Amino acid sequence: MHVLRPQFRIEERHALEFARQCGFGMIVAADERGPRASHVPFVLDQRDGRTIVQIHFTAKNPLVPLADGTRRFLLIVAGDDAYISNDWYSSRDNVSTWLYEAVHLSGVAHLRELDENRGHGDALLAVSEGRLAKQPWDLAQMEPGKRESMLAAIRVVDLVVDQVEGQAKLNQHKSDADHIAVAGRLAQSEESGHRRLARKMQALRPELGYDFS
């Protein structure tokens, strides 16, 4: 019989890899008016034994002056999610819920010098273009004047991560029959994110008999 487990926190190394693969999230910090947030692509790196998340903002973004080397920022990286109806389960009297994966990376933010903008742009493009099945595009192919104008309009920030939190709610606490039933429903969905969650549920309990590949 499968041992039931509560919804669990993702181990740090898996949480960091999850964030790296996503490459996009919401960054949040607070000033005297309250929380400020921006949706940003990022590059995750290891330097001198520390995890660094490097992001960029437009120069006028209100988060730029907050990256003062003392203030804490939070990066929220959300994966796929899916609503689960209570009548999708094999057993009776379940409660409707959501399945999801998410990672939070937090630490102190440091504003970088303008001469680091090109290096950040090159690194971000290398990661993003590397996900596509084509010859990578890079900044060297851009008209120099336009390229320099665009680079001058951004500010690069390093988030030095000192806290990693990750959570995956994928029905770990449900019975094998319920796990199979919900995974099967998600696998039939037209939403690609739902199908990805179904495959992750299958990977959690690969020994079970599923009706999808």
What three-state secondary structure class fits 100? strand
Q: What is the pLDDT of residue 9?
A: 81
Q: What is the pLDDT of residue 29?
A: 98
Q: What is the pLDDT of residue 1?
A: 37
Count CA within 13 A, CB hemisphere, residue 94: 21
pTM for this predicted structure:
0.91
Q: Of 123, 147, 154, 125, whose CA–CA distance to 57 is shortest?
A: 154
Q: List, for residues 140-158, the tens digit of each pLDDT value.
A: 999 999 999 999 999 999 9
Cα(135)–Cα(138) distance, rounded to whole angstroms?
Answer: 10
CA distances from 55 to 22, 124, 148 (A): 14, 9, 18
Q: What is the pLDDT of residue 3?
A: 43
Low-confidence ranges of the chain (pLDDT < 50): 1-6
Q: Are 187 and 37 in contact (CB under 8 A)?
A: no
